[in-house]
Amino acid sequence: MKAVVKKSQNVIRGKVYILGDNIDTDLIIPAQYLNLVPTIPEEYRKLGSYAMAGLPDTYRRFVEKGKEKSEFSIIVAGKNFGCGSSREHAPVALGAAGVKAVLAETYARIFFRNAVATGELYPLETKKRLCDVFKTGNEAEIDLAAHTVTNLTTGKVFEFIPPGAVAPVIDAGGLFAYARKMGMIKTVDRCQVSGVSNKKTRVRGQRSGGGKRKAESRKSGRRKRA
């Protein structure tokens, strides 16, 4: 589920889930679920069902038991959102759970880049600390053109920092879609990055529709501790 928003709308509307500072990738998707491969469709959905499963049990569940999607499509957080691992499973789990945007004061570098590269969600930087102003369950509306978020429950409007250079990448649906759109990857069977000359960048092959992979035979317990 890419966070592609129709140009005519430029609006994301949904329920808000509140988090604080330093929300790390182990909270977003605990390591025990990293055996799931994001490019396999059923495992992508499974990752969504585990989004924010690392939060302490004192938190309200982000995804209800037995569900694949969260009722919350907007996360509002504090500083350094997504710190820790480079696991792309993190923005993927949020995107798969139906999150369209995160509004945080700042982001950890790799999470931000992965969110943009996958096109899973908009990582938006707020001017104010909104996690103290919004409440979990509030309805919010993000206007990507006006760079504002409105708390529909309270009626208050806040600005966020325009996403700048990364917005078109997310709009396009991620790094590859953007690279193709911009002609940076010219063709699939003769892939070249424009602006950089290197004859080795040629890639042969046909494009396939999806990332499906056939199931392989399983051998359990084969690599037990020696």
User: What are the residues binding other proteins (CB under 8 A)?
Assistant: 22, 24, 26-27, 30-32, 34-40, 54, 56-57, 79-80, 83-89, 91, 106, 108-110, 113-114, 117-118, 174-176, 179, 185, 188-189, 191-193, 195-196, 198, 200-201, 203-208, 210-211, 213, 216, 218-226
The token duo for 93 is 């789990």
Neighbouring CB atoms inside 10 A of 148's CB total 13
What is the closest distance, in whole angstroms, from the C-beta atom of residue 25 to other proteins in the complex? Answer: 8
For 132, counting Cβ atoms within 10 Å of its Cβ (0-12 exposed, 13-18 middle, 19+ buried), the class is exposed
Contact indicator for 147, 161 with CB cutoff of 8 Å: yes
Comparing CB distances to other proteins, the nearer of 59 and 146 is 59
With a CB cutoff of 8 Å and minimum separation 6, the contacts of 98 are 1, 48, 69, 70, 72, 73
Q: Which amino acid is at 155?
A: G
What is the closest distance, in whole angstroms, from the C-beta atom of residue 195 to other proteins in the complex? Answer: 7
What is the closest distance, in whole angstroms, from the C-beta atom of residue 155 to other proteins in the complex? Answer: 32
Comparing CB distances to other proteins, the nearer of 19 and 140 is 19
Comparing CB distances to other proteins, the nearer of 85 and 138 is 85
